[in-house]
Amino acid sequence: AMRAWRLLQGLKRGIPAPRTMMFGAAAATSAATLGATAFAEGQQASSTKPAEWYMQPWTSFQKEPVMADQVPGYDRVHVMRRTFYSVHLMGRLRDASSSREQFVDAARKVSIMLLNEAIGMLPYTPRSVKTPVDGATYVTFDMPDPHKELCVVTVLRAATSMADVMTREYPEIPVGTILIQRDEGTAQPIMFYSKLPRDMEGRRVILVDPMLATGGSVKEAIATIRKAGVHEQDILVVSIVAAPEGVDAVVKANPLVRILVGEMDRGLNDKMYIVPGIGDFGDRFYGTDWDAGEVYIAPGAGGLKGGLYGTT
């Protein structure tokens, strides 16, 4: 039934052609089945097989690699593929009675799932390798060099937990930091601080922010990243939950940016909070309260050391 629904909605699954995007400079190129000529190496013994044989696994129940589901009505907005386990974890995040320990555990695991989806949306280069058995070959995909071609940008402080997941997987990836505080009276973003790697030009940026509500903070962060020389189509926004209002705002301001969310929620309430939402992610993750010991950093104030995040 779910497959039929997806087909009716026009959702298509596929994998990118060599070095094309799921997000990247060749973003205008639609996802397409890899051409037969792309795998000339290692195919000498396969002349009798269909041209697309290398896409198929060896067992009939396995499927070819796919990217995150496309959200109906959007060209460049995607949602994480749902499993029973992912729904369980999202329930832990949404449950107001979850302990901090349960919330942190679920947040980290969902972040891993999301960032795996995000990495799967990078442009990949196909390559044939030989296995240790009988000289058999296997077609793999090489991802971009995290140190030279990628960058994670985090919107403090809530998104730091998501960036930490990425740096555990890829310690060499540089991390940029942007501090944007939402004015609780006007719901408008206020930029306080930014620290990005010096060589941002030519990199693909994964911008992480767990909640995409009004879109104001993300739009401000995108503007800062673009000023550093990153192309709009080379930015992928990754959020755990999002409201349609925020997604629409980001897409309207930056039509070539790609967005990946864990789940798309119903919308915003009169206080501009996501509903059903997960509450204040930062407070629940770090065990703090909004009114307890807030410290504001004035624009231009000193910040985190660049050496830790590769921004010097």
Beta pairing, strands 175-182 & 189-195: antiparallel
Beta pairing, strands 258-264 & 274-275: unpaired
Residue indicated by tokens 């740096």: 167
Q: What one-letter code names the amino acid at 12?
A: K
- Asked if residue 276 has a cis previous peptide bond (ω within 30° of 0), the answer is yes
Residues 6 or more apart in contact with residue 261 via CB below 8 angstroms: 71, 77, 78, 79, 80, 212, 238, 239, 240, 241, 242, 247
- In this structure, what token pair is assigned to residue 109? 């695991």
Distance from C-alpha of 242 to C-alpha of 209, rounded to nearest angstrom? 10
Enzyme catalytic residues: 182, 186, 280, 283
> Minimal CA–CA distance to 207: which of 183, 180, 239?
239
- For residues 139-148, b (16+ Cβ closer than 10 Å) or e, as one string? bebeebebee
